[in-house]
Every structure is written in structure tokens, then in C-alpha cells.
Structure 1
Amino acid sequence: MISNPPTKTSNLGYQVLADRITNGQITRIVVLTGAGISTSAGIPDFRTPGTGLYDKLAPLNLPYPEAIFSISYFTHTPEPFYAIARARHPGNLKPTISHAFLALLAKKNLLHFLFTQNIDGLEEDAGVPVDKLLWTHGNWKSQHCHKCHAEYPDDLMKNAIRAGEVPYCLKTECGAAVKPDVVFFGQSLPAEFEDRQKMAAEADLMLVMGTSLKVAPCSQLPRLVKEGVPRILINMEGAGDMGNRGQDLCILGTCDNGVRELADALGWRDELETLWKDAVDAKGDIKELEDGPTLDECIAKIASTMNDKMKISNGHKRMLENHLSSKFAQMMAKPPAQS
């Protein structure tokens, strides 16, 4: 039995959903995941008070916490992003049992499609087929100059991340900062998203895991599910409109505990644990990367040099912060434009 089991709230019997899956009534499961499925791999989520990444960034005195992932801020101040890149790089990480559960759904031909807001790529490491998932915010698998879009070598990127330094475009006439191919605030989501989001309406069950449902347009996906189709939320707290429909099930707690509960109800627990062990073993030895500085150490190091490096007056700083805060408020008020 798991310790601290999640709290279940539902208008639908918990075992009823498991029975519908095992007897073949549910065959097209659409999944939306967020940072909560990767916290046990060592990546803090974004918004949990005290432990979330945005709170941890406080020593940097950013104009707003999300600025570290804003393209407008990165354009002129890429140092904070690369200061924490080593600690958050997926090369340091192994899949969680939550990732393994998604791979198990795929193995059983139940995964209709997976939308992930994460950039760590751990879904693929766990065994989710790439044709069944969309990294809605991109991933770390490649990188380009953010200005001229020239490709940048993998080995040089690896060296820069290991050193906590900003890599710059190799074209002498450019020299702008290189950015991993992840979607920052202010950038468009992959063009594929507009077409793929229609798959939410094809679901006969939607599973939402580890997300606050506060970032558009992914936050709208659960609303696209047809009325009468069950939706499951596994999260530390309520999110969006999950729980408002009669067929909703909310499992409040960690994602890892939640998927173990589901696996128990489905009779899949042993198979899940075995698949997870195999995925972790397949990732291999990452000791070289594990021995690097912690996220807190990375933040402390860059915080001590930020003010001297930027060398801007307090008045200019206030003007910049007000401008960036205004731009961020506008971005959050409407979904990013689709390309």
C-alpha cells in the first residue's frame, strides 16, 4: 500500500472508470500533462509556494518570475536561463512512474494522444511513441540561434550547459544568444497543435496530470472533451473546471501516488512497476551530470553577479521591469498566436 494516499472526489464511482477501461468501453484516452509528473525526477514545478521554481528564483530579482522563460527578456538577458539550465536539463533526469504509466497506456493501445507541456522529453524515455505525443512547449533535443535561427552543434551546447554559460551564434555577423528549441512566453506553439487539439473531442476519457491549467491554450483542452465523457484530474489541488462535470474524477495528491492508485484499480500494478524499472535502467548512468551544482546553487551563483553584469541605473531598471510586466500581462491574457 502507498503512504499518504491521494484524496478522491468524484460524482462517478472510482472503480466504475477502471472497469470501463478493462472491459473495453474506454479505448481512446487523451492525456494532458504538466510539471507535476516530473517533480519526483528532481524538477520542481513552477508555482508551489516555497518549493516551486518561481519562488526559488526570488534571489535574481527578476521583473516577474516568468521572465526567465520570456523571449523578450531572454533576448537581452539570457544569463539567468543558462545559469539554471544544467540543474534542469533532462540529461540529468530519469523517468518517473507517472511517465511509465503513460507508456503503459500506449503499450495497451489505449493512448489516443498525449499533450505534454513539459520540455524534459521523459515521456519518450519512458517508452511513449513519438507519434502519440506532442511537446506543446518544445523540448531540449535541438537548439538554434534565437535571432537568425542558425543551427548550433550539440556538443557545444552540452559544453555551455555544463559550464553554465550562454552559447552564442557562430555566425560572426550575428552573435546572438542560442536558445534550445523550447517555446518561451511570447512565441507561438508548434503549428501541429492547432490540428492535434481536435483529438480532445475524440476522447472517450481525458486524463489531466500535474498541471494548474493556468497557461493557455493547453488549459482549454479539457473543455474540448464532449459532455458525458469522463475526465480524471491527478494533481496536488483542483485545476480549471475539472470536477464540475458529473463524469469527472479528481484525485488530489502527487501524480506518482495517483497513477499507482489507478494501476491498482486496473490490476496493472506489477506491470507498471516493471515497466518503470526498465525505463530507469535504460536511461543508463547519469552520474557525471548528477554531480553538478544543485538548482539552488546555480541560482545563488548567478544572483551574486547579475547586478554588476547588467550595470543599469535603478530608474532604468524600474522602467524595464514595468515594461516587461505589462508585456507579460498581455501575453497571459490571450493564447499565443498560432503559426
Structure 2
Amino acid sequence: MHLPIGGTESEMGWGPEGGFIQSKTVSVIHLDQQTQMQRSPLNSDSNCFHIPSLPNLSVFWCCFLLGLVTHRCTHPSRWGGSRGLFTGGGGASVVQLTLQDIARSLRDRQHKRVAVMAGAGISTPSGIPDFRSPGSGLYDNLQQYDLPYAEAIFEIGFFHRNPAPFFALAKELYPGNYRPNPTHFFVHLLHQKGQLLRMYTQNIDGLERLAGIPPEKLVEAHGTFATATCTSCLQKYKGEELQPAVMSGSVPKCSACGGVVKPDIVFFGEELPPRFLKYLTDFPLADLLIIMGTSLEVEPFASLAGAVRSSVPRLLINRDPVGPFVWGRRPQDVLQLGEVVGGVQALVEALGWTRELQALMAAGVEQNEE
């Protein structure tokens, strides 16, 4: 399933791997002998502009234009990357934002509609292995289940033929085995302050819910263990109704028809939940996007990073630069690289919210123990 997610300032297109990417087409200004401006597309790998002959322009204006072009060639990022000099990229130098800038504007409530995107990297500090890290990812630890290939455990066709390996893995991942960490509680704190628009998570571990983030503020893009459905008669179940069977190592069966009951997580070959379509209204409204702990490799989730308006700051808290933070950075982008919890704590400290976060975590731990 691929959903078109694009910007408004430049041409967009599907990338070679299914991702929605920005075209390299830029606009060039040609001036004829009457100094009339015309736009024509130029597909070029160069960030520099070609200046045609300008016989009727004064020496002053020639020097002025050449000065602009020189600055555009030597400082392309300040002019909006590959966008045209006089088009959506803007004509004024833009100062790169910092983590302190993001903290200041958040603290001053300049951002009241914060969208959050999160991946497996926010859960690994809680002890949950991610899916792709060499040597420690879940895919590397699935050989014990005698699968034809690691990904088969999350393929719906294989599940229908042999659900046992999935439920053996589900026993390890089932909500309740792990606890939220400061990253999850930080998002809850954003909600408490009335600044969280929505959290979009790739995770199926349920730690966002355990941290107290309300379900209406969550879009669990890859599904959830909180609910389940019979694969035969489609009867609905609460997640906790499956827990005894899963924790005993059995395949849960439907009480009505005897069919296999599958948690409502998204397998390869299944559609994303309808709730994912909330991005269509959420991301145009967002005034800040925070992306944490994700490789931005799985579509269509990955393309959400480009769905906010180009003027909206994007903060990446991640081990490495990923996605548009590698090939399409904006002046409003801020990268806090390294361990995710450490990056969140640096932001919280800059916000002056450390005591509030600690109090929220203490209350959450006490509630979960009850």
C-alpha cells in the first residue's frame, strides 16, 4: 500500500523504491533583451545558475545578480536546496535552527500542534530488540523458529498456514513484559501541556499506551496488540483476552467458530489501519514535527516526514541521519544524533521540564505496578 504524500512547492514523484521524493527540477530565470522574465525548467545536477547575456542591464545590476548567483552556488542550503533562486526556495538567507531554538519555541508555546513520528529506536532502551539492527534485531534471532526466511513470520500468507511461530514471538513482545522509558513519557508530557497533535508510531509493543498517551492521540500505523480479530468469522476481541493462551505458548482460538484469533497488528500483505489516514488532516496542521528512533525505510510511514509544510521545523532525534535529513534537508531541520533517550533528555533539559518528566515517570511506574 502506497499513499501519495507530497508537498506544495515543487514537483513530486515516486522514487525507485516506492518512496515519494522531490523532483530535481528547478527554475531558471532567463532575461531577454527587453529584460522580460521567463521561467524554463532545467534538469541539472548543479546547484548553480546560468546567466545569459545581459546587454541592456546596467553594470550595477549585473554585479548585483552575479553576487546573488555566487552566494547561491557557494551556500545552496541557505537558499532552500535545489529550488529556484526566485521561486519557493526564497530569496533571503535562512539561519539553521538548533535544539535550543526548538526548545525555546516549545516552551513559549509557539508550537501547539506537535506531530510525533516514532519507530523501534524509542523502544530498544526498554529492552525490546528492534527489527533491523545487525546481531541484535528480531530478524537475526528468528532462526530458532525454522522459518523459510525471517520476514515470513510477519507475512499474512505464512501466518494462515502456520501461526505458531508468530505466537511464539508474540509471547516475548506481548504488552506487559516491558516498561515505557523517558521517550514515551516525554510525548505524554507534550499531551499534558496541550501541545501534542498526534503521535504516529510504527511500534506494536503498546508502550505508548502504558505511558498514558490516550488512544485518541495515537495512530499505531502498524497495528496494536490491544485488540484482535478472528481470521475466520471476524469476531472482535480485547487484547487481554488472548493473553492467557499466548503466554502459555498456545495459538488463541475463537470461542465462536474455533478459528485462529490474530492480534490487530499489520502483517506484510495487509492494508494499514484506516486510522492511518488521519495524516491527511494532521500533517498540514502540524506546526512542529518530532521524529524519533526510526530508519524511515518502511513506506508509506516514511513519507510522512515530508508531509508537513515546508516552513514547519522538523526535529530528528535518532542514532543516524535518515531519509530527507540525508538527501533533502531544510533550513528548519534540526538533528540531535546519538542515543535516543539521551537526545530526548537533552531536549527536556533545554525546555526546563526535567522535574515534570521525572514526576510523570514516577506516577506512571506506580500506576503500572498496580
Q: What is the aligned counterpart of 1:148 among 233, 236, 259? A: 233
TM-score for both structures, normalised by structure 1 = 0.76
Q: What is the aligned counterpart of 1:95 among 158, 180, 184? A: 180
CA deviation vs aligned residue, 1:251-273 (integer Å, no higher than 9, x gap): 22222111101001111111112
Q: Does 1:202 align with 2:202?
A: no
Alignment of 1:139-218 (within 5 A): 139-152=224-237, 157-172=242-257, 175-218=258-301
Report the counterpart of residue 206 of structure 2 in structure 1: 121
Q: Does 1:136 align with 2:204?
A: no
Q: Separation in 2 of the partners of 1:153 and 1:14?
A: 41
Contact 1:209 1:235 (C-alpha < 8 Å) held by counterparts: yes
Question: Per-residue deviation at 1:61?
Answer: 4.3
Report the counterpart of residue 156 of structure 2 in structure 1: 71
4+ residue runs of structure 1 moved beyond 4 angstroms? 152-156
Amino acid at match of 1:206: L
SS in 2 for 1:54: helix
Q: Which of the two has higher C-alpha Rg?
A: 2
Question: Per-residue deviation at 1:89?
Answer: 0.5
Q: Which structure has more RCO (C-alpha within 8 Å, separation ≥ 6)?
A: 1
Q: Separation in 2 of the partners of 1:115 and 1:133?
A: 6
Report the counterpart of residue 58 of structure 1 in structure 2: 143
Contact 2:118 2:294 (C-alpha < 8 Å) held by counterparts: yes
Q: What is the aligned counterpart of 2:196 among 100, 108, 111? A: 111
Report the counterpart of residue 345 of structure 2 in structure 1: 260
Q: Does 1:84 align with 2:169?
A: yes
Report the counterpart of residue 221 of structure 1 in structure 2: 304
Amino acid at match of 1:240: G
Identify if the C-alpha distance between structure 1 residues 196 and 153 changes in structure 2 by more than 3 Å, giving closer, same or farther: closer
SS in 1 for 2:229: strand
Report the counterpart of residue 314 of structure 2 in structure 1: 231
Q: Separation in 2 of the partners of 1:133 and 1:76?
A: 32
Contact 2:99 2:347 (C-alpha < 8 Å) held by counterparts: no
Report the counterpart of residue 134 of structure 2 in structure 1: 49
Question: Per-residue deviation at 1:229?
Answer: 1.2
Question: Per-residue deviation at 1:66?
Answer: 2.1
Contact 1:213 1:219 (C-alpha < 8 Å) held by counterparts: yes
Q: CA RMSD in A?
A: 1.9
CA deviation vs aligned residue, 1:241-291 (integer Å, no higher than 9, x gap): 125111111222222111101001111111112211211221116xxxxxx
Report the counterpart of residue 296 of structure 1 in structure 2: none
Question: Per-residue deviation at 1:197?
Answer: 3.6
Contact 2:220 2:276 (C-alpha < 8 Å) held by counterparts: no
Identify if the C-alpha distance between structure 1 residues 29 and 153 changes in structure 2 by more than 3 Å, giving closer, same or farther: closer
Q: Separation in 1 of the partners of 2:149 and 2:333?
A: 34
Q: Separation in 2 of the partners of 1:123 and 1:65?
A: 26
Question: Per-residue deviation at 1:140?
Answer: 1.1
Q: Separation in 2 of the partners of 1:212 and 1:43?
A: 16
Identify if the C-alpha distance between structure 1 residues 127 and 152 changes in structure 2 by more than 3 Å, giving closer, same or farther: closer
Q: Does 1:12 align with 2:97?
A: yes
Contact 1:85 1:164 (C-alpha < 8 Å) held by counterparts: no
CA deviation vs aligned residue, 1:191-241 (integer Å, no higher than 9, x gap): 122233431121111001111111111111110011121101112222211
CA deviation vs aligned residue, 1:26-78 (integer Å, no higher than 9, x gap): 22110011111111222111111111111111333433322211111111011
More divergent stretch after superposition (105-114 vs 148-157): 148-157
Question: Per-residue deviation at 1:152?
Answer: 4.8
Amino acid at match of 1:20: S
More divergent stretch after superposition (144-153 vs 229-238): 144-153
Could you list the runs of 5+ residues in structure 1 that have no partner in the other structure? 1-9, 286-339
Could you list the runs of 5+ residues in structure 2 that have no partner in the other structure? 1-94
Report the counterpart of residue 332 of structure 2 in structure 1: 247
Identify if the C-alpha distance between structure 1 residues 59 and 238 changes in structure 2 by more than 3 Å, giving closer, same or farther: farther
Report the counterpart of residue 327 of structure 1 in structure 2: none
Q: Separation in 1 of the partners of 2:280 and 2:317?
A: 20
SS in 2 for 1:249: strand
Contact 1:231 1:242 (C-alpha < 8 Å) held by counterparts: no
